[in-house]
Amino acid sequence: MANKIATRDSFSKFLVEYGKENKNVVALNADLSGSTMTKAFEQTYPDRFFNAGIAEQNMMGLACGLAHSGKVVFASSFVMFATGRAFEIIRNSIAYTNANVKVCASHAGLMVGEDGATHQAIEDLALMCSIPGMVVVNPSDDVSARKLLKAVAEVNGPAYVRLGRAATPVIYKESQKITIGKAIKLREGKDATIIATGTMVSPALEAAETLAKSGINVRVLDMHTIKPIDKKAILAAAKETGAIVTAEEHTVYGGLGAITASILAENYPCKMKMVAIKDTFGESGKPDQLLKKYGLTANDIVKAVKALKK
């Protein structure tokens, strides 16, 4: 069984190490350092950690000010509160002024589990992608999380990093090259392509194994960067495999699937299905049960691919 690590833990490890490397790094939290895993940074560099309390909008305003004072700012809270409650501040204070703030939010999607619909952010990718100039990344495992965090840290300007509460399988080796805006081809195939992001990359690989047993060979792409998205990889997949299934732990509106569909519609229409959360809220439950109920399993990806191959 593959080793499993939550990407919020990857963020914690990265932040402490990068804080040692760069003395201008500061971290902000909204009274959730124990959950977002910024506590380690707080304990290691107490003079560079700021707890804004349960005041996410104020935290983002503070982040903006610190960034324009020359700091590299990592602002963290739950996804729902960081991207939802503080959206206007992220848009007008951070993005509009091109502040060097990295919004690193944890507890994304249905895998928040028992916390229920109010805490299960399934709209965040759409919200953050709608902001001009915002880089949006959604790592799939521990290695990609740390490498993408380093990459966004070294780009001057606003970025959003989506992190998870639940442990997910480690997919990559430390030697893997991961570049913002460039999808990673995890598996070659000629019959269809599964384009997955975040927590759905591992189920996509599982689905590909299952499909291979049925004689259907699918390409698997990890679209870890939602914005700027790898348009070239999407169009190559459409032209070379003729069918695309997107998979994301996010609403069907405005995320990976919708962005992929818009690229295909304008440049190279092909058969397509989206494995995503429909027009509904989540609910309280065990993560695995929720993923099954809302159609976000490897088996759901298999069904989507087979439907396109009929």
Domain residue spans of the chain: 4-169, 184-309
List active site positions.
56
What average pLDDT does this structure show over 46-64? 96
pLDDT exceeds cutoff 90 at 309: no
pLDDT exceeds cutoff 70 at 303: yes
* HEC string for the chain: CCCEECHHHHHHHHHHHHHHHCCCEEEEECCCHHHHCCHHHHHHCHHHEEECCCCHHHHHHHHHHHHCCCCEEEEECEHHHHHHHCHHHHHHHHHCCCCCEEEEEECECHHHHHHCCCCCECCHHHHHHCCCCCEEECCCCHHHHHHHHHHHHCCCCCEEEECCCCCEECCCCCCCCCCCCCCEEEECCCCEEEEECHHHHHHHHHHHHHHHHCCCCEEEEECCEEECCCHHHHHHHHHHHCEEEEEEEEECCCCHHHHHHHHHHHHCCCEEEEEEECCCCCCCCCHHHHHHHCCCCHHHHHHHHHHHHC
Q: Considering the chain, what is the average pLDDT of its residues? A: 96
Common-topology check for domains 4-169 and 184-309? yes
Cβ contact 230:182 at 8 Å: yes
Contacts of 101 (CB under 8 A, 6+ apart): 60, 63, 64, 67, 73, 74, 75, 94, 158, 159
pLDDT bracket for residue 217 (50, 70, 90): very high
What average pLDDT does this structure show over 268-281? 97
Task: Return the C-alpha torsion angle 44, 170, 129, 67, nearest 10.
Answer: 20
**Cα–Cα distances in Å, from 60 out to 28, 158, 282?**
9, 11, 27
Read off the pLDDT of residues 231-241 as tens digits, 9 standing for 90 and up: 999 999 999 99
The neighbour count for residue 116, using CB atoms within 10 Å, is 14
Fold classification of 4-169 is Rossmann fold (3.40.50)
- Does domain 184-309 match CATH 3.40.50.2000? no
What is the rounded CA–CA span in Å between residue 304 and residue 310?
10
Q: In Å, how far from its chain's centre is CA 286?
A: 21
Read off the pLDDT of residues 1-20 as tens digits, 9 standing for 90 and up: 479 999 999 999 999 999 99
Contacts of 34 (CB under 8 A, 6+ apart): none
pLDDT bracket for residue 310 (50, 70, 90): confident
What average pLDDT does this structure show over 144-158? 97
What average pLDDT does this structure show over 179-198? 98
